[in-house]
C-alpha cells in the first residue's frame, strides 16, 4: 500500500526517497506490488471461510440454555460423554495419519523415479479417493465382516476359532481411514521424494554410507519438511472423520468422534449453539496439532533438495 | 609417482593395479560401454576422454559400483570387486553437479564419510580441518552449499572425496560447470592434490586440453569402445585415427586422393595441389585424409617445399596470434595460425613440415574433410552445451 502513496505524491521531494527505502526494505522481505494480486483471493477467503467461522464462534458463545458466554464450553468439558470424544477422535486421527505417512515413505522410495506402469499405479491409488468413504465402508463391511473373505481365510487356515471382530468398532474405522487416506499421503510423499536429486544418495554411497545410513542421513532429512506437510493434511483429513465412524464403527461408544457429537447436537437435539461449540473445539484441536507439527517443521532444513549447480 | 609431500598420512598408492576385463554395460539394446579392457597402475592419473555420450560416465559409474556391469569383471590387485556395492569399494567420487548434501554445512559435508565410518570426533575434526585448509575453504566451513559459489562447491566436493584417503578417486567432468579461468586454476589444484596426496585418479572429461594437461595416460573412447590409449604426448603427436586427430586439435582433415607412396612418405593431392606427409596406417586407394593442426602451418619462405596457396577468408585476432581460415584453389578449407594479421581476400602461401602432416586411410565417401572431422569437431562445443545424463 505504501507503494501507491509514492505514486500519488511525486510532488514532495523527500517522501519518494523515504517510501523508496521502505519499498526496498519490503522487497527484501518479498513484499511488492505483485502481492496486490492476492486481494481478490483474500476477499473470497474472508467471505466464504472467515465469515461463517466467526459466525460459528459467535453462535457457540450464545448458549441456548443461557448461563454465560462460556456455558457451552464448560458443559462440553464437564460431561465425560462429550469430553471423551476428543480422545476418541485423536486416537483415530493421529495413528491413521502417522501410518499413512509412515507406510508411504518406504513404498515411495521403491517406486520413485520413472518406471513402466507408474501412471497405472497412480490411477489405481487415486481410485479409493474418488470412490469416497461410503463406498469404501461398504466394501470393508463385506471384506472384514464375520462372514467376509478375511475372516473365512483366517478360519480356514485355522489361525482363529472365532471370526475376528474388525468392523463396528475402532479397527473398522482405522482401516477405513487408512484405505481412504493412504493414496493421498502416498502421492504427496512420492512427489516430495521425486524432488530429491538421486545423485545425493549415490554420492553418499561412494562415501561409505549403506542403504540405511543413506535413508537416515540424506533422504529423511531432505524429506522431513514434506513429511510434516503431508502429515498435517492427512491428519486434518482423518480428524473430521464422520461417515466411516458411523458406518463401520461403533458410533454410540468406541468411535463416537467429535464430528458425531456435533452432528447429534445439531440434528438430534437441535442445539446449534452446542454444535458450533464442538465444531470450534474441533478446529482448535486441529490447529493445535498443526501448529506443533509446523513448529517442528520450521526447525528443519527447508532449502533446495538438489546438490549443486549445473547440468 | 609418490613424491615427498607436506600432507601427513600414507602417500604410497593403496594398491598396485586395478584391472578392467571386458567391462560392458548395456541399456536395453544400446551398448553404452563395450568390452573395456584397461589396467590402471596405483598412483596413476588416468583420463577418460571422448565426446558426450561415448560412455565415459558409464565407465566411471561401473568402476564406482553405481551401475552394475552387463558383462566383464573388475579386479583390484587379486581381488574381484565388481560385485561390491559402492559403499564397500572405498573409492571417492566427485560428481559433475558436485552432489553436495544441501542440508549439511560444508564442514559436515566433508565429515560425512568419516562419521559414517565412526571415526572419533577429534580425529574427524582434525582431518576435516586439514582437508578444508587444503582446498582453502576454512572460513566457509559453517556455510550451507547453497551459499557457496560454483568453484567453492566444487572444492567442497573434492575435499569430501579426498578426506577419506580413498584408494581411487573418480572424477566425472568436475570442472565443466566452471568458467574458463577458474577451470584452469582448479585443474592445477587437482593435479597438485593428486601428487601431494599420492592418489590414484581416474578423470573423465570431454575437454582434450584438460585431459592432456592433467593425465599421465589418456584413454580415448568412441561410442563405448577404446580408440586409443597412450601418454598425452603420444596421443597428441600420433593420433591413431582421424577421429582422434579431430579430437586432438587437428582441425584440418583434408579428404584427398593419395598420389604416390614411397620411402615412408605419402603424397596426397588433386589438380595442382600436392601435400606430402607421413602415413599413419596403410594408405591405399583413391581416398586418404591428411590431418594438419592449424598451428603447424606457417607462412612459406624461400626454400620451403611442402607448400600450398590459399585465399584468406576470415581472420580472428587472438592476442599473440591470428587464427585464420582460407580456401585453396580446389575448394578445401584450411585453418591456420600466423603471428601477424592477414586481410580477408589476401592470397598467401603456407608451408607445413612433412612430419606434421599425418595421412590416414580415407573412410570411403569422405568429401572435403574426413568423416572423422565432423564427429571430432562437433564433439567439443556440442558436448559442453548438451544436457548430461549421469
Ligand atoms: N540410465 C540410462 N538409460 C539409458 N541409456 C543411458 C543411461 N545412461 C547412459 N545412457 C546412454 O549410454 C551412452 C553413454 O552415456 P554416458 O556414459 O553418460 O556418456 P558420457 O558420460 O560419455 O557423455 C549414451 O548414449 C547414453 O544415452
Ligand atoms: Mg557424462
A40 touches chain B (CB under 8 A): no
Q: Is there a domain that residue B113 lies in?
A: yes
What are the extents of the domains in chain A?
96-270+285-300
Checking if the pLDDT of A311 tops 50, the result is no
B103 touches chain A (CB under 8 A): yes
Q: Is there a domain that residue B258 lies in?
A: yes
Do the beta carbons of residue B116 and residue A216 sit within 8 Å? no
Ligand 1 atom nearest to CA at B61: 17
Q: Which stretch of DSSP H or E encloses residue B311?
A: strand B307-317
Do the beta carbons of residue B370 and residue B255 sit within 8 Å? yes
B292 and B194 together in one domain: no
Q: Which stretch of DSSP H or E encloses residue A199?
A: helix A198-206
Q: Is there a domain that residue B245 lies in?
A: no
The whole-number pLDDT of residue B258 equals 87
Q: Which pLDDT tens digit goes with each residue over B83-121?
A: 999 999 999 999 999 999 999 999 999 999 999 998 999
The whole-number pLDDT of residue A307 equals 59
The whole-number pLDDT of residue A34 equals 82
A208 touches chain B (CB under 8 A): yes
The whole-number pLDDT of residue B61 equals 95
- Contact call for A221 and B103, based on CB within 8 A: yes
- Contact call for A203 and B101, based on CB within 8 A: yes
Q: Is there a domain that residue B385 lies in?
A: no
B193 and B52 together in one domain: yes
End position of a domain, from candidates B237, B267, B287 = B237
HEC assignment per residue over chain A: CHHHHHHHCCCCCHHHHHHHHHHHHHHHCCCCHHHHHHHHHHHHHHHHHHHHHHHHHHHHCCCCCCCCCCHHHHHHHHCHHHHHHHHHHHHHHHHHHHHHHHHHHHHHHHHCCCCCCHHHHHHHHHHHHHHCHHHHHHHHHHHHCCCCHHHHHHHHCCCCCCCCCCCCCHHHHHHHHHHHHHHHHHHHHHHHHHCCCHHHHHHHHHCCCCHHHHHHHHHHHHHHHHHHHHHHHHHHHHHCCCHHHHHCCCCCCCCCCHHHHHHHHHHCCCCHHHHHHHHHHHHHHHHHHHHHHHHHHHCCCCCCCCCCCCC
Higher-pLDDT residue of B177, A307: B177
End position of a domain, from candidates B237, B269, B294 = B237
- Contact call for B97 and A204, based on CB within 8 A: no
CA atoms within 13 A on the CB side of A146: 6
- Best of A192, A197, A224, A309 to disrupt the B interface by mutation (most B CBs within 10 Å)? A309
B289 and B196 together in one domain: no
What count of residues does chain A have?
Answer: 311
Report DSSP letters for B355-386, one per residue.
Answer: GG-EEEE--SS--SB-HHHHHHHHHHHHHHHS
Q: Is there a domain that residue B243 lies in?
A: no
The domain at A96-270+285-300 falls in which architecture? Orthogonal Bundle (1.10)
Backbone φ and ψ of B220, nearest 5°? -95, 125
CATH number at residue B323: 2.40.50.140
A301 touches chain B (CB under 8 A): yes
B158 and B9 together in one domain: yes
Do the beta carbons of residue B348 and residue B310 sit within 8 Å? yes
- Contact call for B113 and A197, based on CB within 8 A: no
- Best of B64, B116, B155, B169 to disrupt the A interface by mutation (most A CBs within 10 Å)? B116
Checking if the pLDDT of A10 tops 50, the result is no
The whole-number pLDDT of residue B179 equals 86
> How would you label B98-122 residue by residue, b for 16+ Cβ within 10 Å and e otherwise?
bbbbbbbbbbbbbbbbbbbeebeee
pTM for the whole thing? 0.79
B199 and B271 together in one domain: no
- The whole-chain average pLDDT of chain A stands at 86
B257 and B210 together in one domain: no
Q: Roughly how many angstroms between the first and final C-alpha of chain A, as a whole number?
A: 41
C-alpha A210 – ligand 2 centre gap (Å): 25
Number of independent structural domains in chain B? 2
B314 and B278 together in one domain: yes
pLDDT (tens place) for every residue of chain B, 390 residues total: 333 333 444 456 778 999 999 999 999 999 999 999 999 999 999 999 999 999 999 999 999 999 999 999 999 998 999 999 999 999 999 999 999 999 999 999 999 999 999 899 999 999 999 999 988 899 999 999 999 998 899 999 999 999 999 999 999 999 988 888 888 988 999 999 999 989 999 999 999 999 999 999 999 999 999 999 999 999 999 999 999 998 888 999 998 888 888 888 999 988 888 899 999 888 777 788 999 999 999 999 888 889 999 999 999 988 888 999 999 988 899 999 999 888 999 999 999 999 999 999 876 433 333 333 333 333 333 333 333 333
Q: Which stretch of DSSP H or E encloses residue B230?
A: strand B225-230
Cβ burial of A172 (10 Å; 0-12, 13-18, 19+) is buried
End position of a domain, from candidates B237, B266, B299 = B237
B317 and B193 together in one domain: no
CA distance B205 to chain A (A): 14
Rounded Cα distance between A207 and B113, Å, is 5
Helices in B215-344 by DSSP H: which ranges?
Answer: 232-237, 242-247
The whole-number pLDDT of residue A3 equals 42
Q: Give Cα B71 to chain centroid, integer Å.
A: 26
B260 and B230 together in one domain: no
Q: Is there a domain that residue B386 lies in?
A: no
- Contact call for B387 and A207, based on CB within 8 A: no
Q: Is there a domain that residue B39 lies in?
A: yes
Q: Roughly how many angstroms between the first and final C-alpha of chain B, as a whole number?
A: 31
ipTM of predicted complex: 0.79
Q: Which pLDDT tens digit goes with each residue over A109-123?
A: 888 776 778 788 878
Rounded Cα distance between B197 and B167, Å, is 11
Mean pLDDT value across residues A259-264: 93
Give the residue from B147, B129, B150 showing the smallest Cα distance to B138: B129
Mean pLDDT value across residues A29-50: 86
A119 touches chain B (CB under 8 A): no
B195 and B219 together in one domain: yes
Rounded Cα distance between B278 and B354, Å, is 7
A213 touches chain B (CB under 8 A): yes
The 3-state DSSP class for residue B290 equals: strand
C-alpha B18 – ligand 2 centre gap (Å): 22
Q: Which range, A23-32, A229-238, A296-305, has the best average confidence (pLDDT)?
A: A229-238
Q: Which pLDDT tens digit goes with each residue over A128-170?
A: 777 777 888 888 888 888 888 888 999 999 888 888 888 899 9
Ligand 1 atom nearest to CA at B224: 14
Pocket of ligand 1 (CB under 6 A): B 27, 32, 50, 52-58, 389
Q: Which of B25, B36, B53, when mutated, tests ligand 1's pocket best, judged by the most ligand atoms within 8 Å of its CB? A: B53
B348 and B265 together in one domain: yes
- Contact call for B101 and A208, based on CB within 8 A: no
CATH number at residue B227: 3.40.50.300
Q: Which domain holds residue B294?
A: 251-380
Q: Is there a domain that residue B216 lies in?
A: yes
Backbone φ and ψ of A250, nearest 5°? -120, 80
C-alpha B389 – ligand 1 centre gap (Å): 6
B222 and B265 together in one domain: no
Amino acid at each position: 500500500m505504501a507503494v501507491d502513496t509514492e505514486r500519488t505524491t511525486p510532488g514532495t521531494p523527500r517522501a519518494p526517497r523515504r517510501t523508496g527505502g521502505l519499498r526496498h526494505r519490503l522487497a527484501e522481505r518479498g513484499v511488492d506490488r505483485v502481492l496486490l494480486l492476492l486481494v481478490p483471493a483474500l476477499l473470497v477467503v474472508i467471505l466464504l471461510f472467515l465469515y461463517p467461522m466467526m459466525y460459528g464462534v459467535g453462535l457457540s458463545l450464545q448458549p441456548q440454555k443461557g448461563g454465560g458466554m462460556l456455558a457451552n464450553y464448560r458443559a462440553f468439558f464437564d460431561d465425560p460423554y462429550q469430553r471423551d470424544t476428543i480422545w476418541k477422535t485423536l486416537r483415530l486421527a493421529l495413528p491413521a495419519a502417522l501410518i499413512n505417512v509412515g507406510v508411504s515413505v518406504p513404498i515411495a522410495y521403491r517406486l520413485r523415479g520413472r518406471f513402466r506402469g507408474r501412471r497405472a499405479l497412480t490411477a489405481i491409488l487415486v481410485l479409493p479417493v474418488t470412490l469416497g468413504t461410503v463406498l469404501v465402508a461398504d466394501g470393508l463391511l463385506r471384506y472384514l465382516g464375520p462372514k467376509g473373505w478375511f475372516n473365512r481365510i483366517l478360519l480356514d487356515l485355522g489361525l482363529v476359532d472365532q471370526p475376528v471382530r474388525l468392523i463396528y468398532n475402532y479397527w473398522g474405522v482405522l482401516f477405513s481411514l487408512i484405505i481412504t487416506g493412504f493414496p493421498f499421503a502416498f502421492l504427496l510423499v512420492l512427489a516430495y521424494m521425486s524432488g530429491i536429486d538421486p545423485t545425493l544418495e549415490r554420492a553418499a554411497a561412494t562415501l561409505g554410507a549403506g542403504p540405511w545410513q543413506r535413508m537416515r542421513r540424506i533422504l529423511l532429512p531432505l524429506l522431513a519438511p514434506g513429511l510434516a506437510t503431508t502429515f498435517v493434511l492427512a491428519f486434518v483429513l482423518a480428524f473430521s472423520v464422520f461417515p466411516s465412524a458411523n458406518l463401520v464403527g461403533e458410533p454410540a461408544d468406541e468411535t463416537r468422534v467429535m464430528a458425531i457429537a456435533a452432528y447429534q447436537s445439531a440434528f438430534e437435539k437441535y442445539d446449534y449453539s452446542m454444535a458450533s461449540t464442538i465444531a470450534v473445539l474441533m478446529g482448535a484441536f486441529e490447529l493445535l496439532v498443526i501448529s506443533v507439527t509446523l513448529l517442528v517443521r520450521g526447525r528443519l532444513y527447508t532449502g533446495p533438495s538438489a546438490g549443486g549447480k549445473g547440468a | 609417482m609418490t613424491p615427498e609431500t607436506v600432507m601427513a598420512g600414507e602417500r604410497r598408492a593403496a594398491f598396485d593395479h586395478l584391472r578392467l576385463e571386458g567391462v560392458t554395460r548395456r541399456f536395453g539394446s544400446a551398448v553404452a560401454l563395450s568390452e573395456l579392457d584397461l589396467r590402471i597402475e596405483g598412483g596413476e592419473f588416468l583420463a577418460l576422454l571422448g565426446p558426450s555420450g561415448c560412455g565415459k560416465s558409464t565407465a566411471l559409474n561401473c568402476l564406482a559400483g553405481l551401475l552394475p556391469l552387463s558383462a566383464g569383471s573388475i579386479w583390484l590387485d587379486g581381488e574381484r570387486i565388481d560385485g561390491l556395492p559402492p559403499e564397500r569399494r572405498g573409492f571417492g567420487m566427485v560428481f559433475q553437479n558436485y552432489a553436495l548434501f544441501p542440508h549439511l554445512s560444508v564442514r559436515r559435508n566433508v565429515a560425512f564419510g568419516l562419521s559414517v565410518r565412526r571415526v572419533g570426533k577429534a580425529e574427524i575434526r582434525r582431518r576435516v580441518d586439514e582437508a578444508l585448509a587444503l582446498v582453502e575453504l576454512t572460513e566457509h566451513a559453517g556455510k550451507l552449499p547453497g551459499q557457496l559459489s560454483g568453484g567453492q562447491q566444487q572444492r567442497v566436493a573434492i575435499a569430501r572425496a579426498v578426506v577419506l584417503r580413498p584408494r581411487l578417486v573418480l572424477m566425472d567432468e568436475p570442472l565443466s560447470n566452471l568458467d574458463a579461468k577458474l577451470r584452469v586454476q582448479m585443474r592445477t589444484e587437482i593435479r597438485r592434490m593428486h601428487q601431494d596426496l599420492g592418489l590414484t585418479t581416474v578423470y573423465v572429461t570431454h575437454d582434450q586440453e584438460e585431459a592432456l594437461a592433467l593425465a599421465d595416460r589418456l584413454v580415448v573412447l568412441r561410442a563405448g569402445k577404446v580408440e586409443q590409449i597412450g601418454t598425452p604426448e603420444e596421443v597428441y603427436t600420433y593420433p591413431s585415427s582421424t577421429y582422434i586427430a579431430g579430437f586432438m586439435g587437428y582441425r584440418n582433415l583434408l579428404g584427398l586422393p593419395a598420389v604416390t607412396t614411397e620411402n615412408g612418405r605419402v603424397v596426397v593431392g588433386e589438380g595442382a595441389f600436392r601435400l606430402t606427409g607421413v602415413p599413419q596406417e596403410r594408405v591405399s586407394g583413391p581416398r586418404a585424409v591428411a590431418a594438419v593442426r592449424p598451428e603447424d602451418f606457417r607462412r612459406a619462405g624461400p626454400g620451403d617445399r611442402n607448400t600450398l596457396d590459399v585465399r584468406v577468408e576470415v581472420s580472428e585476432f587472438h592476442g599473440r596470434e591470428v587464427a585464420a581460415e582460407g580456401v585453396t584453389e580446389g575448394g578445401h578449407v584450411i585453418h591456420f595460425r600466423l603471428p601477424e594479421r592477414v586481410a580477408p581476400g589476401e592470397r598467401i602461401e603456407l608451408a607445413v613440415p612433412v612430419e606434421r602432416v599425418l595421412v590416414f586411410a580415407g573412410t570411403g565417401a569422405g568429401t572435403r574433410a574426413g568423416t572423422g572431422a565432423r564427429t571430432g569437431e562437433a564433439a567439443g562445443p556440442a558436448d559442453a552445451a548438451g544436457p548430461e545424463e549421469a
